Structures are given as structure tokens and as C-alpha cells.
Amino acid sequence: MQCALATFTPRLTPFVFVLSADEAFYDLATPKYDVIDFSARAARGGDGAPPPKAEKISHAAPGTPGSKAAVVEVADAAAAEAAIHGPENAGKVVVLDFSAGWCKNCKKIAPTIQQLAQAHAASAAVYAVDIDELAEVAVAHDVSTLPRLLLLRDGTKVGDYLGSNAEEIKALFEATCSNT
């Protein structure tokens, strides 16, 4: 039995470039999308979209317009330090809720934080820190991602949470604030 060997020769199809009179061949390789007018881009707000509106986060539960906020807004860096090391919070767990008005997950967990602050008012003091207004406080506590909860007792960190899962936040409050 004999085997026959077949050779395969691919057919080459020539590519044809049609150039106009003012185009050179090498102009075809110049990408057109790399030309960026940075001044026009900056004038319209970066990528063209308007910058997000930074609204204050309300920690009141939805549907309760008159409820008293158990979450205290921190006004400046000195107030944040006073909250952490102040005598009025001695023995209590101080919860720093780092958030921003443009953060959707921060807005999502705000009512949960408010409810937990009211439920644990005897053992915890909850403070809201807007990182857009108090960037130095966020930097001092190494906060780079939102939403973030930092739990401190007498100035020592006893808990840290990054995320927006309401059940995990409730479990963290139960575990940390009920041990006082």
C-alpha cells in the first residue's frame, strides 16, 4: 500500500488600498483616536459627563421625616478627634461612618446605620464623616474606599468594615457594641 503525499499551497489574495490624492500609505497607520484635545475635555468636565452632585447623606430612615438623627455629622478634624478621644464617649464604641454624597452604596446603608445607632445609643456613638469635606480625617485613618465603618473604643480600633451589606453591618454592631 502506498501513501501519496499532497502538498497544500494557500491562495494569496492581494489587499488593495485605495488612497485619495492627499493620503499617503503611512497615514493609514496613524490612529485617529489618539488625538485628544485636553483643554476641551477639561472644559466639559473630564469625559464629557457632568460631575456628580455631592448631596449630603441623610441618615434618617426612609418614611420617617421627623425622626431624630442618632448619627452625628462631624464638622471638622478637631471634632472627629474629640469624638474619638473625648470623655463623653469613654467606654463607648465610637463608630466613624466614612461616606460621600456621590456614593450610592453609602446612601443605601445610611438608614441601616441610623437604626443601629438608635438601637445601640447606650453603648455606641456613631459619627458620619463626609470624605469630600474632611479629606484629612479620611487620610489619617487610611480610608481609600467607601463605604467604610471604623469602630474604636478608647481610641483603639476594635472593628473595621468595608462594604454595603446591611446584614454584615448589623452583625458587626451586635458583636462589637454589645461587649461594653
Digit-by-digit pLDDT tens for the chain (180 residues) are: 555 555 555 666 665 555 565 655 555 555 555 555 666 666 666 665 555 566 778 765 444 444 456 899 999 999 999 999 989 988 899 999 999 988 889 999 999 999 999 999 999 999 999 998 999 999 999 999 999 999 999 999 999 999 999 999 999 999 998 765
Any idea what the CATH number is for the domain that residue 171 is in? Answer: 3.40.30.10
Whether this prediction's pTM lies above 0.75 is answered by no
Residue 160 lies in a domain: yes
Burial of 45 (0-12, 13-18, 19+ CB in 10 A): exposed
H-helix or E-strand spanning residue 150:
strand 148-153
Which is catalytic among the residues 57, 83, 93, 103?
103
**Among this protein's residues, is 103 annotated catalytic?**
yes
Q: Which domain holds residue 129?
A: 71-177
Residue 66 lies in a domain: no
d(CA 125, CA 122) in angstroms, rounded, equals: 8
Residue 106 lies in a domain: yes
d(CA 138, CA 161) in angstroms, rounded, equals: 14
Which is catalytic among the residues 93, 94, 95, 106?
106
Residue 139 lies in a domain: yes
Question: What DSSP string describes 34-90?
Answer: T---HHHHHHTTSSSSPPPP-PPPP-SPTT-TTPPP-EEEP-SHHHHHHHHH-GGGT
| Domain count within the chain | 1
d(CA 50, CA 47) in angstroms, rounded, equals: 8
Phi, psi of 112, deg, nearest 5: -65, -45
Cell of 32: 485617529
